[in-house]
Structure 1
């Protein structure tokens, strides 16, 4: 249990925007904020997960944080020191925090408890042929292509390690020896294990080849470049009690023609000049409960089929919206864009 007395990084004014809170959470590398008014009184709390639920509801990031915050947070008074720990540990989250306040409801300090070890492991899907990239993947597997000065696989592994996951599996097929050599050369001290698919098993089939003990599995496609906060995803998945959490990103497409709208009599009612359409798309990053992983047999299976089968079993599927940078570099144009972004 940690006692936080320097509160500047954790305090947030109730009239400021959700966007400003999101920026503070990202820039200060903190996982929660305590919301106060001008009199320094406790009004609520906000976490990364609360902000993502706000986004899912279609709410604006320019709204006041009061709209998105928890208005009835768990807190304790200074004079209740004998029950601080009990209150803190009763909070059903991986990251447990307890504002401790005076009788006047002013925040004096914050107690924090975070598990050092979480029984999560990661799987990077790195076996694809990369056919859409043409000659670029003729001699180099897609995950070893560079964005900036680092291979895509190295960017993914860095994010996983930063989130505190100690054990990582990498599924391989096409040019698998090159990936294996890369791991042996650069990650001798890390617990990274290679899975070799003799024939392609789809985007989920190789889960059956993981013979390990774990609570949840993070799956990341080997052609995804993103600044997603994996630790926030783990917390969101745990706190939402999801069986599967899939991440979604915003994708925009500009129609290169004027869009015509007709009524039932096929008469023109409106015309829009080259409109831009926005979609939520599956971003290739998932968190999956062990009980769902156990459903995967030793056969070809795509992730979309696994998710559909899970829905049929009436299991809980959650959605984690990505507001951070995200790019699927499976085609040449997006690879060039990602390279330019990392210049």
Structure 2
């Protein structure tokens, strides 16, 4: 029986290949793993999401060869092994991927956790606060008619697509912070339409900034919770994000996504005013704030009802109080639908997916 042998070519990387070149293939394959080895598929190492996250937190460049990031000598099993043996190996060593090799130690297939333990999603108790009250001026003139969260993506509004994706990961409690054209959003969601999750609202009578609505929710948010902008859809493992948040003892975790920026010019390098070299269209990589956070209730202490505050100021206030603020690097796909170019690209990406 073949498991994922048809995708081995997509997730295979040669040792000297740069992480920058290999990562897009890893994302497209959707298996959260890269296998590193020679052209004959002899295995040298494995790279998982966690390895990449640790490399980014260390400040590694994406230009490093994959062999500097990989786990050498990963756990493997022989092709045709009993699935009970594979299950025990995964459980005993807390691993999610097992390459299957032949007698010459060449990879012939790959086993994933989901193959052996199924795709049942754990129900998550954490509420998700969705900031949906802004005017969405970057999407004018669309938002003169519809509030930003109600802009369609496929046959559903953006915010419903967002909630459906969270629900697929076990979340079922959503709080929408509404303001601009709030009656349109409330009318749509007050018709439950058989949705399997609960939607409630907090009303901003006047703009309170990107985090001010949280001051109105202090009594409701008595446990770990998530905050997200309504115009960002992220393909990620939210359970892993929460595990990381608690493991690090963070009071606030910011999700930072990897973004590649290319300068469309030749950049002049000079030394002491004299020409040194031209670097043609250089690329730079940054972890950018995409508007998804995990918070503990203590972050909201001192936040007054109706007070105006942006999320950036709330983050700095938490840090100034001595609370632990961390960053969770995300390198997978994400969609920022808050401006026209991104919205059009997202529509193309979601054709047939929504």
TM-score (norm 1): 0.69
Could you tell me which residue of structure 2 aligns to residue 308 of structure 1?
Answer: 316
The equivalent of 2:5 in structure 1 is 8
Deviations 1:111-136 (A, max 9, x none): 62577315344222101133455554
What is the match of residue 351 of structure 2?
none
Q: Distance in 2 between matches of 1:190 and 1:140?
A: 25
Relative to structure 1, is the Cα distance of residues 85 and 223 closer, same or farther in structure 2, using a 3 angstrom cutoff? Answer: closer
2:336 corresponds to 1:327: yes
- C-alpha RMSD of the superposition: 4.7
Q: Secondary structure at the match of 2:195?
A: coil
Q: Displacement of 1:105 after TM fit?
A: 6.0
> Structure 1 residues 268 and 316, CA, compared in 2 at 3 Å: closer, same or farther?
same
Instruction: Specify whether residues 199 and 271 from structure 1 end up closer, same or farther in structure 2 by C-alpha distance, changes over 3 A only.
Output: farther
Matched, 1:250 2:259: yes
Q: Is the 8 A contact 2:131 2:227 kept in 1?
A: yes
User: What is the deviation of 1:84?
Assistant: 6.6
How far apart, in 1, do the equivalents of 2:83 and 2:291 lie? 42
The 1-side partners of 2:112 and 2:328 are apart by 29
Aligned to 1:26: 27
For residues 178 and 206 of structure 2, the distance between their equivalents in structure 1, rounded to whole angstroms, comes to 10
**Offset from partner CA, 1:136-183 (integer Å, 9 cap, x none):** 433421222345665332342343234443332221122111111222
1:271-307 Cα distance to aligned partner (Å, 9 max, x none)? 9899888574744332314355554734433221232
Q: Check conservation: 1:14, 1:66, Cα contact below 8 A.
A: no
Distance 1:134 1:26, change over 3 A: closer
- Distance (whole Å) between structure 1 residues aligned to residue 71 and residue 127 of structure 2: 30
Structure 1 Cα separation of the partners of residues 164 and 41 of structure 2: 39
Out of 57, 60, 72, which is 1:57 matched to? 60
**Inter-CA distance 309–64: structure 2 relative to 1 (3 Å threshold):** same
Distance change >3 Å, CA 207–CA 87, structure 1 → 2: farther
For the residues of structure 1 that align with 2:203 and 2:242, how far apart are their CA atoms?
A: 28
Contact 2:5 2:110 (C-alpha < 8 Å) held by counterparts: no
Contact 2:226 2:295 in 1 (8 A): no
Distance 2:46 2:92 in 1: 17
Q: In structure 2, list runs of 5 or more residues that go unmatched.
A: 349-354
* Mean Cα deviation higher: 274-283 or 121-130: 274-283
The 1-side partners of 2:22 and 2:283 are apart by 28
Q: Write the distance in 2 (CA, Å) between the matches of 1:189 and 1:149.
A: 15
1:145 paired residue number: 151
Q: What is the TM-score of this pair, normalised by structure 2?
A: 0.67
Equivalent residue, structure 1, for 2:47: 46
